[in-house]
Amino acid sequence: MHSPTSISRRTFLTFAGTLPLVMRASAAEKPPVGLELYSVRDALMKDLTGTVRAVAKMGYEVVEFYSPYYSWTPQAATDVRKLMDDLGIRCPSTHNDSHAFTPDGLAKAIELNQILGSRYVILAGPGQVTGIDSWKSVSDRLNAAAEKLKTTGMSAGYHNHQIEWQPVEGQRPMDVIATRTGKDVALQLDVGTCVEAGADPVAWIESHPGRIKSLHCKDWAPGRGYAVLFGEGASPWERIFKAAESGGGVEYYLVEQEEGPAAEQLQRAERCLANWKRLKP
């Protein structure tokens, strides 16, 4: 088992002085826009280097690697970090399944995220849950992870899907997670799934000031689902941006586009960015 501090001396010396500062929104500086790389998953699996280069060339400023990154070796993560440094982009967070939040799993996630320069290790799925007590256990797991991550300068986070907005025993799991976790646990809002579930993303942001460190800017529309591009669905983006930047605590945005032909993933990501620039000049 790797301990959270077991990265090699060479790796530590290479990156200790280059970990990015926490990106915070201010009146003078816009939160950067990035791409959740699940949007280009088929292209990424075929050619990681070429795909990351293409995403940076489009104009995305940050990226979020999703769960397959967890299988990388430290050397592979080092190579990806060098690629990002050369391109001038950053990876402020990673998207993880529940295994990364086990004791052994978290140690490996810490090692890889330290190399990548990530600030947040995001849990993007609770694993098997059977009732409200299971959701309370998920919250406890997040708090425990946040304590361990704090010693490394990182934080834990939680990414919602539709299920967290559906009441269980009279309580929404998202409310359980928000109220039972400390402020060190970021609440990464997936906008599309929130809107599909009938929840109000603006009200959610306003109810949890300072904790919405990042948003997955994924759109959804009745009858078309997630096939719509960012900015072409039912999400009230202008109000979402205002809430996120006036008190929500957003540090960066991540565009996500889930559906469409595999061969068109890069083109769709580029079109999403064009919509972003139109909606948020």
pLDDT at 259: 92
Residue 166 pLDDT > 80: yes
DSSP 78-97: HHHHHHHHHHT-EEEEEEE-
Backbone phi, psi, residue 27, to 5°: -65, -30
Distances (CA, A) of 107 to 1, 69, 185: 8, 14, 17
pLDDT at 16: 42
pLDDT at 281: 78
pLDDT at 6: 38
How far is residue 20's CA from residue 16's CA, in Å, rounded to a whole number?
A: 10
- Sequence-distant (6+) residues with CB within 8 A of 114 are 7, 11, 15, 19, 152, 154
Contact 266, 39 (CB under 8 A): no
For the segment 68-79, the average pLDDT, to the nearest whole number, is 97
How far is residue 147's CA from residue 182's CA, in Å, rounded to a whole number?
A: 10
Tokens encoding 42: 């088929």
pLDDT at 101: 96
Distances (CA, A) of 223 to 21, 45, 228, 262, 267: 42, 30, 10, 21, 23
How much is the pTM? 0.89
User: Which pLDDT band, with edges at 50, 70 and 90, does 20 fall under?
Assistant: very low
Residue 48 pLDDT > 60: yes
Is residue 158 helix, strand or coil?
A: strand
How far is residue 7's CA from residue 1's CA, in Å, rounded to a whole number?
A: 12
Contact 202, 234 (CB under 8 A): no
What CATH number does the domain located at 28-279 have?
Answer: 3.20.20.150
Q: Are strands 33-36 and 252-255 parallel, antiparallel or unpaired?
A: parallel
Residue 271 pLDDT > 70: yes
Domain residue ranges in the chain: 28-279
Residue 4 pLDDT > 70: no
Contact 216, 33 (CB under 8 A): no
pLDDT at 29: 80
Average pLDDT, the chain: 91
Which of 235, 237, 243 is closest to 208 using CA atoms? 243
User: Which pLDDT band, with edges at 50, 70 and 90, does 149 fall under?
Assistant: very high
Residue 118 pLDDT > 60: yes
17 vs 104, residue with greater confidence: 104
For the segment 146-175, the average pLDDT, to the nearest whole number, is 97
Task: Tell me what percent of the chain is helix, strand and coil, each rounded to the nearest 5.
Answer: 50, 15, 35
Distances (CA, A) of 93 to 124, 234, 276: 11, 26, 20
For the segment 48-70, the average pLDDT, to the nearest whole number, is 97
Sign of the four-CA dihedral 213, 218, 219, 220:
negative
Contact 243, 202 (CB under 8 A): yes
pLDDT at 11: 43
Residue 54 pLDDT > 90: yes
Each residue of 183-234: pLDDT tens digit? 999 999 999 999 999 999 999 999 999 999 999 999 999 999 999 999 999 9
- Residues belonging to the chain: 281
